[in-house]
Amino acid sequence: MNLDANAVYEKSFTVGHEGYGCREVDLFLDAVIEDYETYDENIDRLEAALQRFKRKAVELEEQINNLSDINEEIKRSML
């Protein structure tokens, strides 16, 4: 079962003769929803950071390649 904040929010419980207290369940689910929202925000933030790091890694690899080429040219010119 994959839950998200909305699925938890929309969950309903049947209340029997000795059932759970609705207020207590609601308070708990509110806390669960808040945790899911925080979790989702963290995932979004981390995914964005990962994409930035991947772009930066590509950029740095290009710089390394360019500097290696320059280094090789300098070596050849010194011979």
**pTM of whole model > 0.85?**
no
Count CB-CB contacts under 10 A for residue 60. 10
pLDDT tens profile 21-78: 788 888 888 888 888 889 999 999 999 999 999 999 999 999 999 999 999 999 999 9
Tokens matching residue 49: 């950071």
CA angle 18, 19, 24 (to 5 degrees): 125
Higher pLDDT, 1 or 7: 7
What is the chain's Cα-based Rg? 27
What integer pLDDT is reported at residue 2 of this predicted model?
Answer: 67
CA quadruple 65, 66, 67, 71: dihedral positive or negative?
positive
What is the 8-class DSSP label of residue 14?
-
What integer pLDDT is reported at residue 28 of this predicted model?
Answer: 83
